[in-house]
Amino acid sequence: MTYGIIGVGAIGAAIVTGLCEGVRDAPAVVLSPRNATRAADLAARFRNVRVAKTNQEAIDAASVVLLCIRPQEARSVLGDLKFSSAQGVVSMMAGISIETLQQLVAPAQSIARAIPLPTVAAREGATPIFPYTAAANALFERLGSSIEIPNEVALEATSASTATVSAHFAYLNAISQWLVAQGVSEAAARRQVAATFAGLAAQLHGEAPDFAELARDHATRGGINEQFLGVLEQARVFETVSSGLDRVLARLTRR
Question: According to the model, what pLDDT value does residue 254 have?
Answer: 80
* Residue 157 covered by a domain: no
Mean pLDDT of 148-152: 96
- Euclidean distance between CA atoms 19 and 106, whole angstroms: 27
CB atoms within 10 A of CB 241: 12
- Euclidean distance between CA atoms 2 and 62, whole angstroms: 5
* Residue 106 covered by a domain: yes
Question: According to the model, what pLDDT value does residue 117 have?
Answer: 93
Question: According to the model, what pLDDT value does residue 29 have?
Answer: 98
Same domain, 122 and 201: no
- Phi and psi for 44 in degrees, rounded to 5? -70, -30
Question: According to the model, what pLDDT value does residue 201 have?
Answer: 86
Counting residues of the chain whose pLDDT is more than 70, the rounded percentage is 100
Mean pLDDT of 163-191: 97
The CATH number of whichever domain residue 91 belongs to comes to 3.40.50.720
- State the pLDDT confidence band at 21, using cuts at 50, 70 and 90: very high
Same domain, 9 and 106: yes
Question: According to the model, what pLDDT value does residue 131 have?
Answer: 97
Residues 6+ apart with CB under 8 A from 196: none
Same domain, 172 and 143: no
User: Which residues constitute the domain of residue 128?
Assistant: 2-149
- State the pLDDT confidence band at 207, using cuts at 50, 70 and 90: confident
Same domain, 126 and 33: yes
- DSSP annotation string for 163-228: GGHHHHHHHHHHHHHHHHHTT--HHHHHHHHHHHHHHHGGGG-SSS--HHHHHHHHS-TTSHHHHH
Same domain, 180 and 245: yes
Question: According to the model, what pLDDT value does residue 76 have?
Answer: 94
CA dihedral 195, 198, 202, 204 (to 10 degrees): 140
Mean pLDDT of 61-84: 95
Same domain, 103 and 174: no
30 DSSP 8-state letter:
E
Contact call for residues 101 and 113 (beta carbons, < 8 A):
yes
* Residue 155 covered by a domain: no
104: closest CA among 85, 71, 79? Answer: 79
- Count of domains in the chain? 2
Same domain, 97 and 187: no
- Look at residues 149, 181, 206 and tell me which one is the last residue of a structural domain: 149
- Euclidean distance between CA atoms 26 and 14, whole angstroms: 14
Strand order in the sheet with 144-148: 49-51, 28-31, 2-6, 64-67, 88-91, 110-114, 125-130, 144-148
Average pLDDT over the chain reads 95
Mean pLDDT of 46-57: 97
pLDDT for residue 89 is more than 80: yes
The CATH number of whichever domain residue 232 belongs to comes to 1.10.3730.10
Question: According to the model, what pLDDT value does residue 58 have?
Answer: 97
pLDDT for residue 210 is more than 80: yes
Mean pLDDT of 113-129: 95
pLDDT for residue 206 is more than 80: no
CB atoms within 10 A of CB 242: 9
162 DSSP 8-state letter:
G
Counting residues of the chain whose pLDDT is more than 90, the rounded percentage is 92
Q: What predicted TM-score, i.e. pTM, was given to this entire model? A: 0.85
Question: According to the model, what pLDDT value does residue 181 have?
Answer: 98
Question: According to the model, what pLDDT value does residue 35 have?
Answer: 86
Question: According to the model, what pLDDT value does residue 170 have?
Answer: 98
Largest CA distance in the chain: 65
- State the pLDDT confidence band at 255, using cuts at 50, 70 and 90: low
* Residue 190 covered by a domain: yes
Q: Looking at 21-97, list the stretches that DSSP marks H as alpha helix, in order from N- to C-terminal side.
A: 36-45, 55-60, 74-78
